[in-house]
Amino acid sequence: MNVLGGFIAALCLLVTAAFTFARAIWGAWALCALCVLFVAAVFASPLVRGADFGAQLDFVFGFHKANGIAAGLTAVGGLLTAISAAIAASVRSHPRHFGA
């Protein structure tokens, strides 16, 4: 089940990243929202099941063993991607005038 969920999540990120690369503003906002959702899920899902907040922060940012490294890289990479996608979505480009 985790593998199937990972493939579906990766496919969603790939599609929104492709639309962002194609300069679709809604694609950049969708990429930002998905990344924020994934970062929130890394933190919130164990907390809902009763994990201690301090222990969860230590797990995510402690980079202990393989699971901790994966969770930490997901949180850091997802947050950086969400910030850059939000910046890309909010910046307007000006038309280029050649030969003027």
Query: Any idea which residue has 């890309």 for tokens?
Result: 88
pTM of the model: 0.75
Query: CA-CA distances (angstroms) from residue 56 to 45, 53, 61, 66, 82?
Result: 10, 5, 8, 15, 21
Q: Is residue 82 scored above 60 in pLDDT?
A: yes
- The predicted pLDDT at position 94 comes to 67
At 33, the pLDDT band (50, 70, 90 cuts) reads very high
pLDDT at 86: 92
| Among 88, 86, 90, 92, CA closest to 34 | 86
Q: Is the pLDDT of residue 34 over 60?
A: yes
